[in-house]
Amino acid sequence: MRSDSDRSARLWLYGDVGCPWSYLALARIRQLAVASPVVVGWRPLARGARTEGMNDTAAPSPAGAESLSPQAAEFESLGLQFEGPSVDFDSRDALQALEFARDFGQTVLDQTLDGLFAANFAHLANLGEREELLEVCRELGLDREALELALEDGRYEAELDFAEAEAERYGIEQIPTILVGRSMIVGAAPREVLATLVSRVLDTE
- Overall number of domains in the chain: 1
Beta strands in 16-164 (DSSP E): 38-44, 51-52
pLDDT of residue 67: 53
In the sheet with 9-15, reading across from the earlier edge strand, the strands are 38-44, 9-15, 177-180, 183-186
Q: DSSP label at 63?
A: S
Which of 7, 14, 30 is CA-nearest to residue 78?
30
Instruction: Classify residue 34 as left (phi > 0), alpha (psi -120 to 50) or beta.
Output: alpha
What is the spatial distance between Cα 178 and Cα 189, in angstroms, rounded to a whole number?
9
| pLDDT digits (tens), the chain, 205 positions | 333 444 567 889 999 999 888 998 998 888 888 777 778 899 999 877 455 555 543 333 334 444 555 566 777 777 788 886 656 889 999 999 999 999 999 999 999 999 999 999 889 999 999 999 999 999 999 999 999 999 999 999 999 999 999 999 999 989 999 988 788 888 888 878 888 887 776 666 5
Q: How far apart are alpha carbons 127 and 125 in whole angstroms?
A: 6
Which CATH number do you get for residue 122? 3.40.30.10
Q: Which domain holds residue 184?
A: 4-204
